[in-house]
Amino acid sequence: MAQSRRSPRPAHTLFEQQFHMSNSVRKAVFPVGGLGTRFLPATKSMPKEMLPVVDKPLVQHAVEEARAAGIEEFIFVTGRGKTAIEDHFDRSFELHDLLEARGKNDAIKAISEWLPSAGSVAYTRQQEPLGLGHAVWCARNLVGDEPFAVVLADDLVMADPPCLSQMVDTYRETGGNLVAVMEVPAEHVSRYGVLDVASDMGSLVEAKGLVEKPLVESAPSNLAIIGRYILSPRIFGRLENAKKGAGGEIQLTDALAAMLGSTPFYGLRYDGVRYDCGDKVGFLHANVVFALSRPDMSDEVREIIRNIAETL
């Protein structure tokens, strides 16, 4: 679902404008500890975040989006069986030397060009799969006392400028807590965190309530959170000793809801299209669309799709 940005930002006093000028976001947290049961057997011995969209793992798409948004420190909250992610963001000398000996310069670029610089990546483990809120809380010491982004690699967004860049620009003006949102069909609201809208300014909305995975009948709206957040570090206080919520997990949405009233909460209708790569069909959809956007293969892929369509 494509969305477009429609409205001006809320007005701020001069003091607020000066204050918000310092709202820079330098760190991003990538919760990558999830089990990936929806993709078994593919994820039996491979992290779901390493599943490729065309030829790039989901987690690399996420890191590249963060880097484009000015993120300088990349914090992964991992779990058991996720070491392939650490290897992916490390240099691979054997492979590099082999490719060099064979004169494969394009392949060398493909394995090294996008690597974050030494010391800019940190890993911590979520020891138990207690939920997204708990995963974010596990990063508290690495984040410290500054605003930070959270990027869920499952949610792949095709956008220009990238989704997180749009959010960082907006956050400079809003501060508070900011999430990316999209309108979803009413029957799908129970898959998401959903906003109870206080004021709708077009591309930006302010929320007065938030519910994680509401029942279709009682959802406050169909405006759903997708996996992009810019959060105040005060969230860590709310996540400390947080109670289990929907699905028996410690939910980030519940901690955000608990901050309403003391920290403004905004949703940004970003300009772009989100693919749910935690879902098999969504993942296939992303692969087709991203392949079609690639000059090196779009003609061939278009031809294949045409042929398949003719047989349907």
Q: Which residues bind ligand G1P (CB under 6 A)?
A: 132, 152, 155, 192-193, 212, 224-227, 251-253, 278
Q: How far is the CB of 179 from ligand G1P (least distance, A)?
A: 8
Q: How far is the CB of 155 from ligand G1P (least distance, A)?
A: 5
Residue 167's nearest CA partner among 210, 230, 226, 227 is 230
Q: How far is the CB of 20 from ligand G1P (least distance, A)?
A: 25
SS3 150: strand
Nearer to ligand G1P, 173 or 212 (CB): 212
- Cβ atoms of 51 and 58 closer than 8 Å: yes
Nearer to ligand G1P, 186 or 305 (CB): 186
Q: How far is the CB of 221 from ligand G1P (least distance, A)?
A: 13
Nearer to ligand G1P, 76 or 192 (CB): 192
Nearer to ligand G1P, 247 or 295 (CB): 247
- Cβ atoms of 223 and 209 closer than 8 Å: no
Q: How far is CA 103 from the centre of its chain?
A: 36
Q: How far is the CB of 159 from ligand G1P (least distance, A)?
A: 16
307/37 Cα distance (integer angstroms): 33
Which long-range contacts link 185-189 to residues 24+ away (Cβ below 8 Å)? 185/222, 186/216, 186/219, 186/222, 187/216, 188/224, 189/214, 189/216, 189/219, 189/222, 189/224
Say which residue the tokens 């935690």 belong to.
Answer: 278
Nearer to ligand G1P, 179 or 301 (CB): 179
Report in angstroms the alpha-carbon separations of 125 from 139, 174, 237, 295.
Answer: 9, 32, 19, 39
- Helix, strand and coil content of the chain, in percent to the nearest 5, comes to 40, 20, 40
Nearer to ligand G1P, 66 or 224 (CB): 224
212/246 Cα distance (integer angstroms): 6
Q: How far is the CB of 297 from ligand G1P (least distance, A)?
A: 28
